[in-house]
Amino acid sequence: MRITPDTLEIGSTQKRNKNETLETFLKRITHVSLVGKAIVLMENLNFCKNLNVLYLYDNKITYITGLECCRNLTRLYLQNNAIEEITGLDVGLDRLNVLHLHNNRIRRITGLHLLPSLEHLKLDNQRLDPGEQLEFDGECLLALASSLRYLTLTNNHIKDISPLEKLKSLESLDLAVNSIQDVEPLESLLSACSYLSNVNVLGNPVANAGPPVKLRQRLILASPTLTCLNEKDIPQVERMFVENMRHAQRSRRSAKDHNHTRDQTTSLGVSGTAGVATPACQEEKPFPHLPPFASQYRDLMLSQLTKNTATERRLSDSNLHISPRKVASAAEALHRD
C-alpha cells in the first residue's frame, strides 16, 4: 500500500468539512494513523504540514523519509517495521518528543543528533543477527544528553553500557535481557546519571551471578535518586537500612584497622627494634662487668623506671634502656662513698 492524499484523509482522526478541499484539509490535520497497512515507503507527508502525531507501526518500512515538511511533529511511532538505520530525522524536527523504533533491525544508535526536544526513546527488541549487539554512537548520545529522559533498550545483547553515561538527564532506563556481566559498570552509570530514578537490569548475567539482594544493595548505594529497581519500588525505610548497614560495616572496618595498627605498635614496643637495623653510632654497648652492689643499683633503677613509664615502654622500649655509661658512673660514685 502507498501513502496517498486519499490514504492520509482516511488515516486522519479528523473529518473534512463539506466544502473543504482535500489539500486544505490535509494542511490542518494533526493526527494520522496508518497502522498495519503493509506500507513500504514514507511519502506524500508534505501535504500534512501541521502534523503532530504519526502512527506508522506494523508496516514494512525500511527507511525513514518524507518528514521535511512535518516541522510540528511531536510523536512518531515506527515500531515493528524493517528499519535498519536511523536516518531522515535531521530535517528540523525540533519539537519531536517521542520516538518509538522498537522491533526493527537497527544495529547502531545514531542519526538523533538534531532532535533537541527528544525525551522518550524506545529501541528495544531489535532483530539482530546472531553475535551482534546494539551499539552506540558517542556523539549522538552526547547530543541527547540534555533532553533524553526515558530510554528502553531491552533485549539487544548489549555488553558495554559505558557510552550511556553521557545521558546525564536520564530518569528511566530499561536494560533488561541484555548481556551485562559486571556490577561495576552499572554502579558507574548510576553515579554518572544523577537523575535516574527507575532502572531495570533483570535478565542480565549480572542479575543472576549472586544473591539478588546484594546487587540491589550495591545499586541502591550507587544512586541516591533511585526509587525503583528491577520493577520493585525502593521504600525510604529500605534505603535507610542499606545506608545504615554500610555505615556500620565501615565503622567495623575502621575499628579493625585501628586495632590492627595498635597491635602492631604494641608489638614493636614490646620487641623494641627487633628486625630493624640500628645505626652503629646508636648501638648500645653491653653492660661492663660490675661488682655486685652496682648490679643491684642498676636493677633498682630499671625497676623504678619501669613502674613510672609503663605506657612509654609499650610504645618504645628503647627509651627505657639505661645507658651503661650512666650505670657505671653511678656505680663508681657509690664505690667512692
- The answer on pLDDT for 328 being more than 90 is no
Measured distance CA(64)–CA(87) in Å, rounded = 6
Confidence label for 298 from pLDDT (cuts 50, 70 and 90): very low
Q: What is the pTM of this model?
A: 0.75
Tens-digit pLDDT profile for residues 280-297:
444 444 444 444 434 443
Q: How far is CA 166 from the centre of its chain?
A: 11
Higher confidence at residue 309 or residue 45? 45
**Mean of pLDDT over the chain:** 85
Contacts of 142 (CB under 8 A, 6+ apart): 166
Task: Please give the helix or strand (H or E) that residue 233 lies within, else none.
Answer: strand 232-233
What is residue 294's predicted lDDT score, i.e. its pLDDT? Answer: 40
What is residue 301's predicted lDDT score, i.e. its pLDDT? Answer: 46
What is residue 250's predicted lDDT score, i.e. its pLDDT? Answer: 81
In this structure, how many other beta carbons lie within 10 angstroms of the beta carbon of residue 55? Answer: 20
Q: What are phi and psi of 272, to 5 degrees?
A: 70, -135
Query: Class for domain 5-236, per CATH?
Result: alpha beta
Contact between 29 and 14 under an 8 Å Cβ cutoff? The reply is yes
Confidence label for 258 from pLDDT (cuts 50, 70 and 90): low
C-alpha cell at 208: 543472576
Tens-digit pLDDT profile for residues 145-195:
999 999 999 999 999 999 999 999 999 999 999 999 999 999 999 999 999
One DSSP character per residue, 222-252 reads H-TT--EETTEE--HHHHHHHHHHHHHHHHH
Contacts of 108 (CB under 8 A, 6+ apart): 85, 134, 135, 136, 137
Q: Which residue ranges make up each domain of the chain? A: 5-236, 237-274, 284-337
DSSP H helices in 272-315: 292-308, 310-315
Measured distance CA(37)–CA(121) in Å, rounded = 24
C-alpha cell at 167: 545521558
Antiparallel, parallel or unpaired: β 232-233 and 228-229: antiparallel
Task: Please give the helix or strand (H or E) that residue 99 lies within, else none.
Answer: strand 98-100
Contacts of 214 (CB under 8 A, 6+ apart): none
- Average pLDDT for 307-334: 51
C-alpha cell at 323: 645507658
What is residue 334's predicted lDDT score, i.e. its pLDDT? Answer: 46
C-alpha cell at 3: 501513502
